[in-house]
Chain A
Amino acid sequence: MTPVPTSSQDSTVPGGGQAPHGAVTTAAGTPAGVPAGGRRTTAATMDEDMHDDSSAWAAPGPTAVDHRVSGHAQPPAPAVSLRASGASRVADTIFKGVSGATGVLILVVLAAVAGFLVLRAWPALTASPDELAKISWMNGQSLLEYVGPLVFGTLLSAILALGLAVPLSLGIALFITHYAPRRAAQALGYVIDLLAAIPSVVYGLWGALWLAPVLDPIFRWLSDTLGFIPLFAGYTAPARNVLAAATVLAVMIIPIITAVSREVFFQTPVLHEEAALALGATRWETIRMAVLPFGRSGLVSASMLGLGRALGETMAVLMILSPGYLFSFFLLKPGQHQSIAANIAAKFPEASGLSVSVLIATGLALFVITLAVNMVARWIIARRAEFSGAN
């Protein structure tokens, strides 16, 4: 059999769109295929490779024989030296060195930040109760008693925000990738990306001046109808409670979660989506069978990115939340909660000496929380790696 110059493209092209589908090149050099029309390559277009016999060659009509002759006319392949060239070996070494160095650098920076936090928090960690009592805003509490409600407020606002943002982001991302017409999807994706670029202080202004009045009747209604559940009891206007802050945080983290999930969903192998469709799955069933399972670990990462941002968000919380230092589950009452970051920003300008150390100690707590969140995320992703799309 004559070797025929077929293009041996790997057909597992990720859903990028522009990839020419496994085009077969005729001996005359013209591509036999037309570029895939859709945004993704489909399995129907994926079958022209993998035949090493000449049948993979689209040769129309009896002129085919001539084509094969021209196949013979291919120049012989040049002899290949098996020794690596000096230049490529140097490039390889440099690349290895640079990538290794950046890896180490990241670790060094991380260690430096942790070291700084511990060092500067140390005076507060070791201070006697009497010394701490001199700081007026500690109200005679121990460091632990002071940090506890702050950690609680931080986690509560961030988790509420995540609870609001994840379902919405998932919906938007699925709409963009699987329901919207291409034009609308592009426009929507663009708007979402723009939202991510808005500075948090603007979100803070928007939340305090525009959203709070809008939320007021909603919260009033919640408190009136569901007030028998302690969570929603005791709303007092204006809407400067933790739920209002979490709503603004949710709006802030929707773009990042949506953007990451959208990328993940776009990469769902067409093969698996078609497997579901061919079994008679509806669009939603296809999403449940092929898209969500494939994207699960990506979704966890996206949510954790969002959670990380919500945990550390300062300005928006500072501008919206009327602070309090309680372990309180009254989501609609003002003056119950405060987040670590907003607290630091509020107190830092006036602080000096030991009170700075106390604030840094709360910062250390935030640092530990964020690390822990990331580790939990990694653990969730790794737990069922065997069943992930990776193999």
Chain B
Amino acid sequence: MSKRIDVENLDVYYGDFLAVEGVSMAIEPRSVTALIGPSGCGKSTFLRTLNRMHEVIPGARVEGRAVMDGQDLYAPEVDPVQVRRQVGMVFQRPNPFPTMSIADNVLAGVRLNNKRISKGDAADTVERSLRGANLWNEVKDRLDKPGSSLSGGQQQRLCIARAIAVEPQVLLMDEPCSALDPISTLAIEDLMSELKNDYTIVIVTHNMQQAARVSDRTAFFNIAGTGQPGKLIEMADTPTMFSSPSVPATEDYISGRFG
């Protein structure tokens, strides 16, 4: 249950504003791909095109192709809702549903597909997903408490559990640790290296060390200036990117000379 995505010449618009231009990249299955680059260069925007979340913003649209295992996600017959069921997403801010218990949060996506899930199956899914998100031991005694009663790091792992409960092909993470303390961040980084055995993971991060620690491949985005579209500057295996990038701007960014 993990698929590759090949992006070809993707242009991403907000109304008339071209936010990201001409991105082509291959996202390998069972690996972590990190997207890095200065703020505003379109990392989030690009990430959200991979599960068609971009178009929920009024006026937002995409040109080009994003092909997941042979199927163009933007083909006319493709239902964005079905895309999102296969490509899960974790946001920067932990966003468990405040009106749902921990268990119901985990099951939220599952229930969309399967309304009449049996009690036993539900309990299994909750345990499997929470274990998968390294959260089970912390919450197993209070599954009926609201998700918002957890700490920020726990909430984020709950969101990861909710995303993996539906067994997606791909998991997108938009700066999943930037609202968290260092310990929770480490917990989630550990989790990512486990999850990549089963999932294709794409993560946006502002943290170079994090990209170096968790990712297999790294893509560097940049913008030429305010109001200009963001572009993919270079993409390579993470060790190569961090030791000998081929573009000077990448080296400048990675070594902290700007951004």
**A→B interface (CB under 8 Å):** 11, 24, 26, 30-34, 37-39, 42-44, 46-48, 50-51, 53-62, 64-65, 182, 269, 271-272, 274-282, 285, 289-290, 293-294, 296, 384, 386-389, 391
Residue in B14, B53, B228, B258 whose beta carbon sits within 8 Å of that of A37 in the complex: B14
Mark the stretch among B33-41, B65-73, B133-141, B184-192 that contacts chain A: B33-41
Which of the residues B206, B227, B257 comes within 8 Å of A34, measured between beta carbons? Answer: B227
In the complex, A272 Cα to B222 Cα: how many Å? 30
Question: In the assembly, what is the distance between CA of A387 and CA of B97, in Å?
Answer: 9
Q: Is the CB of B57 within 8 A of A44?
A: yes
Contacts of B98 in A (CB 8 A): 272, 293-294, 387-389, 391
Are the C-beta atoms of B258 and A64 separated by less than 8 Å? yes
Q: Report the Cα distance A269→B226, complex, angstroms.
A: 28
Does B81 sit at the interface, judged by CB under 8 A?
yes
Query: Is B203 an interface residue, CB under 8 A from the partner?
Result: no
Q: A181's closest neighbor in chain B, by CB?
A: B58
Beta-carbon contacts under 8 Å, B77-93 to A: 81-86, 88-89, 91-93
Residues of B180-237 at the interface with A, using a CB-CB cut-off of 8 Å, are 206-207, 222-228
Contact among A30, A32, A289 for B97, CB-based, below 8 A:
A289
B108 within 8 A of A: yes
Choice from A44, A65, A269, A277 contacting B45 with Cβ under 8 Å = A44
Interface membership of B239, Cβ < 8 A: no
Given contacts A37-B58, A293-B99, contact A279 B17 (CB under 8 A): no
Instruction: Return the contact of A274 from the options B40, B91, B99, B223 (Cβ within 8 A).
Output: B91
Bound-state CA distance A37–B14 (Å) is: 7
Q: A56-B206, A280-B85, A294-B99 are in contact. Are A38 and B226 (CB under 8 A)?
A: no
Tell me how far the C-beta of A352 lies from the nearest C-beta in chain B, rounded to whole angstroms.
Answer: 56
A277 to B56, Cβ gap below 8 A? yes
- In contact, A38 and B57 (Cβ under 8 angstroms): yes
By the criterion CB–CB under 8 Å, are B15 and A280 in contact? no
B34 CB, min distance to chain A CBs, angstroms: 14
How far, in Å, is B56 (CB) from chain A's closest CB? Answer: 6
> Smallest CB–CB gap between A343 and chain B, Å?
42
Interface residues of B (CB under 8 A from A): 14-15, 17, 38-41, 44-45, 48, 51, 53-54, 56-60, 81-86, 88-89, 91-93, 95-101, 108-109, 112-113, 146, 148-149, 159, 162-163, 166, 174-175, 178-179, 206-207, 222-228, 249, 252, 256-259
A64 to B109, CA, bound (A): 44
Question: Quick check: B97 and A44 within 8 Å, CB to CB?
Answer: no
Shortest Cβ gap from A387 to chain B (Å): 5
Contact A272 to B109, CB < 8 A, known contacts A56-B206, A58-B40, A277-B56: no
Q: Which residues of B contact A57 (CB under 8 A)?
A: 38-39, 259
**Contact A293–B53 (Cβ < 8 Å):** no
Given the interface pairs A24-B39, A59-B258, A275-B91, the reply to whether A290 lies near B178 with Cβ below 8 Å is no
Return the chain A residue nearest B258 by Cβ: A64
Checking A54, A278, A387 against B51 with a beta-carbon cut-off of 8 angstroms, the contacting residue is: A278
Give every chain B residue within 8 A of A37 (Cβ-Cβ): 14-15, 17, 57-59
18 residue pairs of the A-B complex, CB under 8 angstroms, read A11-B93, A37-B15, A37-B58, A43-B95, A44-B48, A44-B54, A60-B224, A60-B228, A61-B222, A64-B259, A182-B58, A274-B91, A279-B108, A280-B112, A285-B112, A293-B99, A294-B98, A387-B101
B84 touching A43 by the CB < 8 A rule? no
Chain B residues whose CB sits within 8 angstroms of the CB of A54 once the complex forms:
256, 259
Cα distance, A276 to B54, chains bound together (Å): 14
Told that A32-B39, A37-B17, A285-B112 touch, could you supply 19 new A-B pairs with CB distance under 8 A?
Answer: A46-B93, A54-B256, A56-B206, A58-B39, A59-B259, A62-B257, A64-B252, A64-B257, A64-B258, A275-B97, A275-B159, A276-B97, A276-B108, A278-B51, A279-B85, A280-B81, A280-B109, A387-B146, A391-B146
CB distance from B81 to the nearest CB of A (A): 5
- What distance in Å separates the Cβ of B126 from its nearest Cβ neighbour in chain A? 15
Select B58's contact among A38, A276, A384, A386, beta carbons within 8 Å: A38
Query: Is the CB–CB distance between A51 and B206 below 8 Å?
Result: yes
Residues B40 and A48 in contact, CB atoms below 8 Å apart: yes
Instruction: Give Cα A328–Cα B97 distance, bound, in whole angstroms.
Output: 45
Taking A38-B59, A44-B57, A387-B98 as contacts, is the C-beta distance between A30 and B166 under 8 angstroms?
no
Nearest CB in chain B to that of A271: its residue: B95
Contacts of B97 in A (CB 8 A): 272, 275-276, 289-290, 293
Query: For the complex, what is the distance from the CA of A159 to the CA of B101, rounded to whole Å?
Result: 32
Chain B residues whose CB sits within 8 angstroms of the CB of A386 once the complex forms: 146
Kindly provide the distance from the CB of B161 to the nearest chain A CB, expressed in whole angstroms: 12
**Contact status of A59 and B38, CB under 8 A, knowing A38-B59, A64-B258, A274-B91:** yes
Complex Cα gap A294–B146 (Å): 13
Chain A's closest residue to B178 (CB) is A50
**Whole-angstrom distance between the Cβ of A314 and the nearest chain B Cβ:** 38
Using Cβ atoms and an 8 Å threshold, which residues of chain A touch B249? 61-62
The minimal Cβ–Cβ distance linking A371 to chain B, given in whole angstroms, is 29
Bound Cα distance from A283 to B146, whole angstroms: 24
